[in-house]
Amino acid sequence: MPPNPRLLICDSDALIQLFIANELRPLKDLKNLYGIQPVVVQEVDIELRWLGHHRDRFVLQLDKAMKNGLVTRLDKPLFQSLVSAAPAGASWSAFQSIGAQYAGYVDKGEAYTHAAGVVLGVPTVSNDFRAIQLLQTQMMNLPAPVLRSFDLLAFALTSGTLAIQDCEKARSALLAAGEWVAKDFKNTSFQGGLSSFTCRLKESSSTGAAPPPTPAKFSDTLFINKI
């Protein structure tokens, strides 16, 4: 079984949804139980501190998450510490170059988030399918996989971190805020949408079966193990 990824690189839109729902337990358990550290690139850190109509609404939540280590910045020292386990050719300069290239087509936060995921070979979390489509149209590589905020919520439900009532509350908060909601949950309850929702994050089976395939596309499923 391949090791869990060291990082989950979070785009601003996904973090905003967890902040709006006031539900960070999925990130806490990914870090504490699975050894996966949520991080943001510098461009996302800047976005979260001055986000258009949101202005500085999420600064206090972001600062608290960073102060307690739940979320960290992907700075150069942290990046360099991961290069030895990354795909061949990984370097800070490659990350910066690819990020700048992607930024010609999508917003900076998304561009550098996905660039970091590609160069380091780790998953990202972003709800912006339009950005994914734009990068695909330009034949740009994408992380494998790209998770969505609802993957984190659904995984936390199946792993026992969240109760169904917590997921229903998060969905309601996002709908009330006019936020993106996965189509399977848009016109029904969280419970009602689960049967049609394909979660891209699952816990590996411990039955001794053949190891699951390594994700190769942005829409593939990532299997992880508790540490």
* CA dihedral for 47, 50, 55, 58, sign (positive or negative): positive
Contact 133, 209 (CB under 8 A): no
Q: Which domain holds residue 171?
A: 149-224
pLDDT for 207: 59
Domain boundary among 106, 125, 147: 147
Structure tokens at 11: 């785009």
Residues 27 and 126 in one domain: yes
Residue 14 CB burial class (10 angstroms; 0-12, 13-18, ≥19): buried
pLDDT for 52: 67
Q: Is residue 208 part of a domain?
A: yes
Domain boundary among 99, 131, 147: 147
Domain boundary among 101, 116, 147: 147
Residues 180 and 108 in one domain: no
Residues 68 and 131 in one domain: yes
- What number of other Cβ atoms are within 10 A of residue 208's Cβ? 5
Residues 133 and 158 in one domain: no
- What number of other Cβ atoms are within 10 A of residue 65's Cβ? 21
Q: Is residue 2 part of a domain?
A: no
For tokens 């337990």, name the residue. 25
Which strands make up the sheet holding 124-125, listed edge to edge? 72-73, 37-40, 7-10, 124-125, 146-147
Residue-wise pLDDT for 161-189, tens only, equals 999 999 999 999 999 999 999 999 999 99
- Report whether pLDDT(21) > 70: yes
- Report whether pLDDT(36) > 80: yes
Q: Is residue 1 part of a domain?
A: no
pLDDT for 208: 61
Taking residues 25-47, report their average pLDDT.
97
Q: Is residue 155 part of a domain?
A: yes
Strand blocks (E) in the chain: 7-10, 37-40, 72-73, 124-125, 146-147, 201-203, 222-224
CATH number of the domain residue 143 falls in = 3.40.50
pLDDT band at 212 (very low <50, low <70, confident <90, very high): confident
Q: Is residue 204 part of a domain?
A: yes
Instruction: State the total domains in the chain.
Output: 2
Identify which of 11, 15, 10, 8 has the alpha carbon closest to the alpha carbon of residue 57: 15
Q: What's the Cα-to-Cα distance from 153 to each of 25, 45, 161, 191, 227, rounded to whole Å? A: 9, 22, 9, 12, 20
Residue-wise pLDDT for 115-130, tens only, equals 999 999 999 999 999 9
pLDDT for 206: 62
Residue 93 CB burial class (10 angstroms; 0-12, 13-18, ≥19): exposed
Peptide bond connecting 123 to the previous residue in cis, omega within 30 degrees of 0: no
pLDDT band at 210 (very low <50, low <70, confident <90, very high): confident
Q: What percent of the chain has pLDDT over 90?
A: 91
- pTM (2 decimals)? 0.95
- Among 95-109, 132-146, 155-169, 194-208, where is mean pLDDT lowest? 194-208
Q: What percent of the chain has pLDDT over 70?
A: 96
- Report whether pLDDT(191) > 80: yes
